[in-house]
Structure 1
Amino acid sequence: MEHEPLHPLISQKIHWQPDLSFRPFNYTAAPIIENMGGTAGTSSVVKPSPPAFVGAPMEKSSKASLIKELVALGLLKAVAAPFERVKLLLQNQKDIIKSGRLHKPYNGILHCFATTIRNEGIFSLWRGYTAMTMVHVSATVIRFGIFQYTKNLDDTQWSYTRVVVSSYVASAATQFLVYPFLYAATRMATDVKTIGSNTGDRQFNGMIDVFRKTLKSDGIVGLYRGFNITLGELVMMGALSKGLNPWKQHYSYILRNNFLSRHMVDFGFWISGNMATYPLDTVSRRMMMTSGSGTVKYKSTVHAIGQITKTEGVKTFYNGAGAEILACAAYNDTVLLIIYLAGVIRAAKGKSDNDSGSSSSFTIRWKDP
């Protein structure tokens, strides 16, 4: 510790910000995509959720690395999208039934998959993918802009408290900007074809149609239904990151020479954080369902929690949690596959690990404690 500078650059401090993020990111956070020539930072955050600040590009990153990150992010989101839609259908099935678009609840993950494919076709599993990708792309671009701005600041007076507060504010601001896309993704994913209808009509014809109908019926407020509970989720995620970090550091150190074991430990902490905050996500999504022509209207977040608990039981808050875990697993397995393929490609080209001069190659790594 005594060898560290008294006033590290804020661009260095960003790498150990509290790990704040959005629920839809919860299987997109662990890997950091960077140029081979990028400077590797360190992080003391755990991974129950993706970063709002910590995932910013490194000092030597460029627009090219940002584009690579966005492309890889889009690919990984496409892999997990079917599980994400099933999760949202299970999570919000009570409101879908009340709207008359579903006659009876799903019996589980497999039944939800089978019913959706049978009634809507296999490609319907990616319904809402575009809007959800817009959430992540927008947030990544915003993080990139914040990082570029903070690099040029005179940070000699930046205290730890100020950095922490700034990261929370940046996370909340980013969430505010991308929340309408998250709302649109949720409404599209839960918009099943009307069962028994001759035409199989949907409520929304696309992301623009979601915005148009919501603004017409509820105004701008309708696009931010459930936003306050999402802010609470951000705070809880940050607290979990700080609380679980010493344990993650301990096990990561013990398993420092075993990448796969470290990956499993990271995944375990990641899932633990997601499951701890999952009820808040359920409330947020259920609040979203009340905008527009929703049949259930909650007066407030407290009212929503009370009504759901009273009429459906506490276990309802974890509807779709199994699909969420599968989505995380699908994402992480894809990351491992990309890491392996990237290593094979580098080896085939005869490049050593110290070769950092290529501008066209990239690596995916886990942020170490």
Structure 2
Amino acid sequence: MTGERPVRRRRTARDWVVDLALFCGAAWVGLVVVGLRVESGAMPPEWLFGLDQLSGALGCLALWLRRRWPFGLAVALALMSSYSEFVAGALFVALFSVAVHRPPRVAMTALGLSLVSGVVFALIRPEPHESDAALWVLGSTLSAAAVGWGLFVQHRRRLAESLRERAARAEEEARLRAEQAQHQAREAIAREIHDVLGHRLSLLSVHAGALQYRPDAPPEDLSHAAKVIRESAHAALQDLREVIGVLRAPVGELPQPTLADVHQLTAESARAGMSVSLSESLPAPVPDGPGRTAYRVVQEALTNARKHAPGARVAVRLSGAPGEGLSVEVTNTAARGPAPPAAGAGQGLIGLAERVSLARGRLEHGPAGEGGWRVAAWLPWPS
């Protein structure tokens, strides 16, 4: 299979210049050979000399078709070279074109055919004053040089194309990495907004609901609830400013809590009216990585208990040791009153499970006891 196929495209200005230069070069080689033949005086029969010149002219003109049918043209010129010496220049150009535009196997086939034609030429038109073997070697060397040059040009073109494709692929991969980094940053920001603001806003919701359902409460209770709402709103606004700062700076610059802040977290919930107990069994300070994740577990569990189990008792337990891991468990009893509907229920636990998984930990959640709920996580604690 030669791989011959018509290539239909407009010639560029560069193509016209190259084709014209090759045509002129092939014609010049043919004229030089004619001149040498006349000068030597060893003229062939007149009819053969005329046929030789006509073949050389047709071969040069046929070079304008080399881009469309390079292999077919090379085969035709190789066959003509079995009796015509004036077609040599056109044959070299055709062999070069095949090597540039077709696979190496096809170029080697055309080269082999031209070598066989050279043997036939030496048999039917022997030179009286020259060595036929030497002339065949000279012609074969020139033909092989044309093919070798064409293969070199093809290799250079393929290499340049490969480099262009590699550069385009690298640019596309860089764009995809940038999009992935942006997506991860947005997810991190969404988690921070949910974790930070969800806790504050749930406190506001609890106290606002108390004011709504107990308009006849004592003035001290109303004043205390209003104070908590004001403090929670102020804290939520401050947290919102910090989260928005992430949009203008790397995510890692957001102030991150540690496990030591769990005491403040439970204290805030207790001031909001929740019944919260905290027990710790930690022989050493917890590293920031697992401690931060544990804080988010407790924060999400308290927020969910406040939303879905109003009036329930909540117990927070922290235990573990270096090398054994850090265990976090938050359980709450059944709700003492109807829970208001919560939009997007379950999204917090999904994000929390992803956060724990990224920390190479495990998260469990589900019913506990009589109508209660349990959230437990285990996180690695390096020794």
Q: Taking CA–CA contacts closer than 8 Å with sequence separation of 6 or more, which of the two structures ends up with the larger relative contact order? A: 1
Q: Is TM-score (shorter-chain normalized) higher than 0.5? A: no
Structure 1-normalised TM-score? 0.20
Structure 2-normalised TM-score? 0.19
**Greater per-residue strand proportion:** 2
- Of structures 1 and 2, the larger Rg is shown by 2
